[in-house]
């Protein structure tokens, strides 16, 4: 999973997101229906910090990243999210290195891409 921390995010956002991720029914059951959570399949989660998720492309042709929290604010929330996700799933999440230039490969099964925003808890 890719996680972006936005300016103004708080511990409550990380806690809500961890609960949402742990309980989201996105894995196939025996009938092939997305009906099981990562907790139910005893799976694990890879969490990579990704500030570019917060790109603002509304103006011009160069994305703005001003909404992305700077490391002093983002790192503690990223770490808190990881701790809450471990608590919710019972397994430590695998993690990327915060702010590192990483080469990440992704196999998108389906493809299914789900966006969760802690500011839009609908």
Q: What is the pLDDT of residues 68-112, one digit of tens each?
A: 999 999 999 999 999 999 999 999 999 988 888 888 888 877 778
Burial classification of residue 74, based on how many CB atoms lie within 10 Å of its CB (0-12 exposed, 13-18 middle, 19 or more buried): buried
Enter the DSSP assignment of 48.
E
Model pTM above 0.85: yes
pLDDT tens column, 44-80:
999 999 999 999 999 999 999 999 999 999 999 999 9
> Domain extents for the chain?
2-95
Q: Give the fold, CATH level 3, of 2-95.
A: 3.50.80
Q: Please identify every residue annotated as catalytic.
A: 50-52
End-to-end CA distance of the chain: 20
């Amino acid at each position: 999973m890719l996680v972006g921390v936005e300016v103004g995010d708080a511990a409550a956002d990380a806690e809500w997101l961890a609960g949402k991720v742990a309980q989201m029914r996105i894995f196939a059951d025996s009938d092939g229906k997305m009906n099981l959570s990562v907790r139910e399949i005893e799976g694990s989660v890879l969490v990579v910090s990704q500030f570019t998720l917060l790109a603002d492309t509304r103006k011009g042709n160069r994305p703005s990243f001003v909404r992305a929290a700077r490391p002093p604010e983002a790192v503690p929330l990223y770490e808190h999210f990881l701790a809450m996700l471990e608590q919710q799933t019972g397994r430590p999440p695998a993690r990327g290195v915060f702010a590192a230039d990483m080469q990440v490969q992704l196999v998108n099964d389906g493809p299914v891409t789900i966006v969760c925003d802690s500011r839009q808890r609908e």
